[in-house]
Structure 1
Amino acid sequence: MSETVSVRNNTLPIVMICVLFFVFGCVTWANSTWIQFFKLSFSLTDTQSFLVTFSSYIAFFFLALPSSVILKKLGFKNGIVMGLFVLALGSLLFIPAARLQSFSLFLIGIFIQGSALALLQTAANPYMTIIGPIESAAKRISMAGICNKFAGIIVPLIMGTLFLANASTIEEQITSAGTDMERVRHVGELLGRVNTPSVVLAVFFSLLAFIFIKVKLPDVEEENEVIDSNSEKTLSKTSLFHYPHLFLGALCIFLYVGAEVMAGDIIGVYGKRLGLSADISTYLTSLTLTAMLVGYIVGIIAIPKYISQQKALYVCAVLGIVFSILAYLLPGFPSIVFIALLGLANSLMWPAIFPLGIQGLGKFTKIGSAVMIMGISGGAIWPLFYGFLSETLHLNFQLAYFIAVIPCYLYILFFALKGHKIGLKES
């Protein structure tokens, strides 16, 4: 029988999961730089460059449920170790992709990394949720979120410096290249910048895997985690489909991640459309993530002492609606500021949605968590939807952005007010 984690001995597990969330941030928030880097290297349209986020996030749709099976067979810790080694493999694939100047091979590497993150997140999120009282789950996930968003702040800065230094000059060189051979040479020099960082990341992920092998982490018995006070009611439910709030929560995650990716990964493209140079726009993601970090700190202080996670989700949804409207109405740099401030609106959504979605699942917690993780695939769809609106339908890009994100925040508001209670016994 697995050892149940108590409040007294959960410090080490929380620290280790926070390290994992930092890794998640390093990988996922690299997408904002990859979008602009590949757009420059391969002369892509906005929509084509958004295949980066598609490749990264669509993996969650296909791998989340298989990940729950893998975790059941291997166990929590071994699943994490496997995920970290797969992350290393995906990083190393960038080296031949750069040498072959193959955008498709880069996308395969990003998909492999996304598959690893699906496994890691399927393990980490429920673990952090049920390692303590469900009422304070948003607070614990906020702690992990700080690590994630801190990585999101520094990674675009580091990657922008490594990969997009003198981006405007390079863009001019590639565009004005007189021959195909000259253009290939410029692109090769640019893509060659990924080699050393890819090796460093692969080594880092592998070393972290060995640390997890050595560290003893207690398991949690989600089968015994019954949130409803009426245990007979919970035990009478024999299928996931008896929990409609779970699927409403998965849809909420789907829309939330779509909105988060739009604010974090797409802000650089948005800034360029407003006339900012490539040298500046590559760092805009750090502004969004800084706003998110502020929100996570507020969450740690306020949840659940001053505000419930349901109320926090309601407030964040309202802020998302207000900031989206202002970003659409205002011109120039103020519009960019409110896109960045969407990071503040998004900050407490994941920490609130996830525990609300899996509350009361009892023995179905692990598979229910995998269903929730599938919702991360929203990050694959929403940038392409935005690209379709702005480039295929030729809508004004600010209007296209507004049309893309406002339904997300409206649904999140519904979930905060009513959706999370549907199917649950009213207290």
Structure 2
Amino acid sequence: MQTLTTHQEKHRTFLPMLIIGILFFVFGFVTWLNGALIPFLQIVCDLSEIEAIFVASAFYIAFVLMALPMAWVLDKTGYKHAMVLGLIIMAVGSLLFIPAAYSKEFSIFLIAQFIVGTGLTILQTASNPYIVKIGPKETAAVRISIMGLLNKGAGFVAPIVFTALVLGDLSGVSAKSIAALPELERFAKIDQLASGLVQPYIGLAIALAVLAFSLKLSALPELNLESEQEADNDSKSVFQFPQLILGVITLFFYVGVEVIAGDTIGLFGSQLGVANATSLTSYTMAFMVVGYLAGLAFIPRFINQSQALLCSSILGIILCLSVVYSSHDNTAISSIFWGWSGLPLLPNTVAFVALLGFANALVWPAVWPLALDGLGKHTAKASALLIMGIAGGAVIPVIYGQISEYLGPQDAYWLLIPCYLFILFYALKGHKIRKWG
């Protein structure tokens, strides 16, 4: 009888994970298109480095402004209908890229990014706690790691697909190569680049709309969190849970470093003259996938979620120092890690940025279950606060851009050190705190 019950429990968990897994793939594809868009729009809209960083900021600022309204929507509609609405909003934002491409107006691109980010906000607010609460809390990081594999796998694919569909036969394009062209030829090339956005974003909008319709018809069950509520939590505000608030701050710093590792690598590589810099985000995503696989292998079999977070923060600090002190005239690191595969080699500085993906992989899946532990029916609002931590992706890369313009892009990676130090604090102590003061 027990075996049958366990089998039925696994079956009940499988369908929701399959559906949410598809959504996480969509998250990754849309989110990590930014890594390709930043160097691309820098060329098309003739942007400075800090202006180019705003491509990511407009996307991530939506998580700050819209997270609490989306939590209200989530409470009113339920998890499933909220996810459907999020997909529809993302489809609308994708369609806005079409007039943006034809006009080459940077402001329209930013508005489109904000709308896509808004749709993704409600999807993230609903799906992350869903995965945490759909099974035992001890294996929550494992479930999120599986979602992360899909998310970052899509992040690996997205820049490659973008480069193939948008750049087409314009291989080897970079900010340096475009700037070196005569004026008339440069304008013609920029027009050709911009028009390449239209069909891919029409396809993306159609895919999102079809997925929304399919999700509407699916059998995704609702969560019932009332039974998890502890009696002494009934009168509590979410702000009275230190593990949650410190978790929000941790995610703020984490998403900042994740976005810098994933989205500035193309900009950094483009400035160094690396060919097809729009595809460099795929290297960071590939190492994140490896990190998630490591998480699946070791959590909770050999290490727990807080220990995984500790290892991630220490490795992040080591790699940041490596980025700052390594040479862009040497390719030894990429020769060691993937030279055997025939993939293009990268300067050591850029290779260490890609390796940050491995350090970052397990932070998100470790923080969520630690921060939501004991929240019960406060989970929806708590998830909205955690999603607001994604604001780090809007703020910290802009600070990176400002430092980069004054000190250069390589020294700007010093900014990541204090971010990883706070993640280290949360791993050692922050997640254990249950009372303020």
Task: Give me the TM-score of the superposition, normalised by structure 1.
Answer: 0.92
Partner of 1:339: 353
Trace 1:183-194 onto structure 2 (pairs within 5 A).
184-194=187-197
Q: Distance in 2 between matches of 1:387 and 1:372?
A: 25
SS of equivalent to 2:47: coil
> Quick check: 170-179 or 358-367, which moved more?
170-179
Partner of 1:55: 58
Q: Distance in 2 between matches of 1:267 and 1:173?
A: 19
Trace 1:105-144 onto structure 2 (pairs within 5 A).
105-144=108-147
Q: Is 1:306 matched up with 2:302?
A: yes
Partner of 1:399: 411
Partner of 2:313: 317
Q: Distance in 1 between matches of 2:305 and 2:182?
A: 55
Q: Distance in 1 between matches of 2:178 and 2:155?
A: 30
Retained in 2: the 8 A contact 1:223–1:365?
Answer: no
SS of equivalent to 1:360: coil
Q: Distance in 1 between matches of 2:109 and 2:287?
A: 30
Partner of 1:362: 376
Q: Which segments of 5 or more consecutive residues in structure 2 lack a partner in the other structure?
A: 1-7, 329-346
Q: Distance in 2 between matches of 1:178 and 1:94?
A: 26
Q: Is 1:417 matched up with 2:428?
A: yes
Q: Is 1:20 matched up with 2:23?
A: yes
Letter in 1 for 2:387: I
Partner of 1:382: 396
Retained in 1: the 8 A contact 2:266–2:277?
Answer: yes
Partner of 2:292: 296
User: How big is the shift at 1:43?
Assistant: 1.4
Q: Distance in 1 between matches of 2:115 and 2:34?
A: 14
SS of equivalent to 2:25: helix
SS of equivalent to 2:302: coil
The alignment covers a number of residue pairs equal to 409
Give CA-to-partner distance per residue, 1:56-77, whole Å, 9 cap, x none.
1000001111111111111111
CA RMSD of aligned residues (A): 1.8
Retained in 2: the 8 A contact 1:32–1:265?
Answer: yes
Q: Distance in 2 between matches of 1:271 and 1:202?
A: 30
Give CA-to-partner distance per residue, 1:153-194, whole Å, 9 cap, x none.
111111122223335389645654445xx6554432211101
Q: Is 1:330 matched up with 2:326?
A: yes
Task: Give me the TM-score of the superposition, normalised by structure 2.
Answer: 0.90
Partner of 2:173: 168
Retained in 1: the 8 A contact 2:174–2:277?
Answer: no
Retained in 2: the 8 A contact 1:264–1:288?
Answer: yes
Retained in 1: the 8 A contact 2:43–2:178?
Answer: no
Partner of 2:101: 98
Trace 1:281-292 onto structure 2 (pairs within 5 A).
281-292=277-288
Letter in 2 for 1:346: N
Give CA-to-partner distance per residue, 1:82-112, whole Å, 9 cap, x none.
1111111111111111112211111111110
Retained in 1: the 8 A contact 2:36–2:162?
Answer: yes
Q: Which segments of 5 or more consecutive residues in structure 1 lack a partner in the other structure?
A: none
Q: Is 1:41 matched up with 2:44?
A: yes
